[in-house]
Amino acid sequence: MTNEFSNQYYLESAPMKKAIAHLSIPMMIGMSVGTIYNVINAYFIGLLHNTSMLTAITLGLPIFTVLMAFGNVLGVGGGTFITRLAGQKETEKGKKVAGYTFYGSIVVGLLIALIAWLAINPITRMLGADAATLDFTKSYVLTLFAGGFAVVLNFALEQLVRSEGASKESMYGIFISTALSLIFDPLFILVLNWHVAGAALAMVLANLGSAIYYIYFLETKSEHLRGFLKHFKISVRDQLEVYKIGTAELLQASFLIVSTLLLNNYSIQYGESVVAGFGVALRIVQIPEFLSMGLFLGLIPLFAFNFASKNTERLKSSIKYAFAYIGSIAVVFVSLVYVFRGTILHWFSGDPSVLSMGTYILAAMLISALFNGFTGLFMSIFQATGQGTPTTIMAISQGVLFIPMIIVLHSIFGLHGVIWSMTVTEVITSVMGVVLFMIFRKKLNSAGVDGKGVVEVTPV
């Protein structure tokens, strides 16, 4: 029986505004704190005043993205499946999926480390390291890969914690990793003088710390997953249920890396002020992106649970509120930043060329920000409800569109094409999301739901 102290109460029957606040506010806070985590390494390495070291950890960023993506393959796929199973009262099966996700994450992390060790030289060159940064980059990347299982495990377990609506506990894990980074980074980088290897080790241990907390919570406090560690095997059919949703995370990360490399390559052709302008504008628009992300990530269990339990009216209500809140975040933020854009840009740079270019780029990024949250929300709805094809389409469409978009627009409009390529891609992707959502909503209205939590019609 559910009560106000139960996470399931918020998924199943709490008033919608109360449920959204419980599920999403901790995630929004956690995502905001996570932005601090992203710059801690760079800050302490920067104190050494060694440009090659700072460049090395920047070049190594895609490695963390890859590890995170593999964690999310198992975590998002397994977590959304577990929530749908909870909605169907199949908690014992949910424990088996959680165990498979846990052990699978460790195995995947160790396999990635082995492959990376065998291919470290081509990987380092592919990241863009030159003679000055080669050794530092190799040291950073090898250390990160060696402990990469902790990163994969942390992100997978975070999704499992979220799967039953335990948003506060998910937030606590983010707090733990951030706090450990603040301890280990100065210790390893400055005191023990381990430089870039110390930065990577600090990141590994910070992720391991939060992973240990998540294991403790799931094994001792979880409503549905206590005892998951004794399970490690699930059927091939259930594995496919995990991967049909989770694989989209890996595809999305792959295209994100390619898109970032392309954007950097084209931007640098027009000078450092353009690259700096992009850096400033992207940091500013990250604020509504992270707030929106916290909102829709927090709501994935709500969507999944009510879809699986066939509570269609509650599912529709939660989606309607999510659209309203994400739209409000985007409009309020974009309006405020546009009005005070001059003052805000001065916080980041006093260089007139950077300010001039940053103002122009920011205008394009703000338009993009109006659509970005909705794109993420559409994908979250499809993930939560087990819609493999729409999830994959949304995951790859941004990358698939951006690559030819930036090439074509650059060849026609030069720098203007580079600046607006991301915005045009975001708008088209969001429109695609609207079309796929309308198809899904039509099916939801007309078909009902089968026992697996999948709409009983031919998939998109």
Number of H helices, E strands in the chain: 17, 0
DSSP string, 277-337: HHHHHHHHHHHHHHHHHHHHHHHHHHHHHHHHTT-HHHHHHHHHHHHHHHHHHHHHHHHHH
Q: How far apart are CA 43 and CA 53, in angstroms?
A: 12
221 three-class SS = coil
110 touches 70 (CB < 8 A): no
* 355 CB neighbour count, 10 Å cutoff: 19
* 272 CB neighbour count, 10 Å cutoff: 13
Q: How far apart are CA 261 and CA 65, in angstroms?
A: 13
Instruction: Please give the chain's pLDDT, 460 residues, in tens.
Output: 444 456 778 888 888 999 899 888 888 887 777 666 666 777 787 788 777 787 777 777 778 888 988 998 898 888 888 888 888 888 888 899 999 999 999 999 999 999 999 988 888 887 777 787 788 888 999 999 999 999 999 999 998 998 887 888 888 998 899 899 889 989 998 889 888 899 899 999 999 999 999 999 999 988 888 888 888 888 888 888 888 877 877 887 788 778 877 877 787 778 767 767 776 777 777 777 888 888 888 888 899 889 988 888 999 999 999 999 999 988 998 888 888 877 877 776 667 777 788 888 888 888 988 898 899 899 999 988 888 889 888 888 877 888 899 999 999 999 999 999 989 999 999 999 999 999 999 888 875 544 344 444 333 3
Q: How far apart are CA 71 and CA 349, in angstroms?
A: 36
Alpha carbon 419 to its chain's center: 24
454 touches 440 (CB < 8 A): no
The pLDDT, as a whole number, for residue 456 is 41
Whose CA is closest to 162, among 224, 79, 98? 79
H helix intervals, 186-235: 195-220
User: Which residue is it, tokens 């070291």?
Assistant: 53
267 touches 418 (CB < 8 A): yes
State in Å, rounded, how far the first CA of the chain is from the last one: 36
DSSP 223: S
Q: Which amino acid makes up residue 352?
A: P
246 touches 238 (CB < 8 A): no
The pLDDT, as a whole number, for residue 37 is 64
DSSP 449: B
Say how many residues make up the chain: 460
The pLDDT, as a whole number, for residue 438 is 94
